[in-house]
Amino acid sequence: MGIWEDTDALFSDVSSTIQRLVLLARALVKNPYLLILDEPCQGFDDAQQKYFKALIDKIAGHSEMAMIYVTHHREELPECFKKKKLTLTY
């Protein structure tokens, strides 16, 4: 996940990107049945968004966990959410 180099840093001292990755890792440790991602790419630049979406795609490809991905921007959706018929609510 790219967070090993920050293992000795305080949570408040790392970037918001690293903070979100740490929170995602923390949630995944418990192997939940459902993962809810609420605007996870908000504030990310294009490279950060691309990395995060690829990470979610990888997790989805190796897990039976259900995921809910909340966003207001279709371009933020990882590929794993585009492959199935989605019910979008506005």
- What's the CATH code of the domain at 22? 3.40.50.300
Does the residue 88 lie in any domain? no
Which structural domain, as residue segments, surrounds residue 65? Answer: 4-82
Does the residue 72 lie in any domain? yes
Task: Of 63, 73, 74, give the one whose Cα is nearest residue 27.
Answer: 63
Number of domains the chain contains = 1
List per-residue pLDDT tens for the chain, 90 residues long: 778 888 889 999 998 888 989 999 999 999 999 999 999 998 889 999 999 999 999 999 998 899 999 998 888 889 888 765 555 555
CB atoms within 10 A of CB 41: 24
pLDDT value of residue 1: 79
pLDDT value of residue 37: 93
Token readout for 53 is: 């979406």
pLDDT value of residue 28: 93
Full-model pTM: 0.80
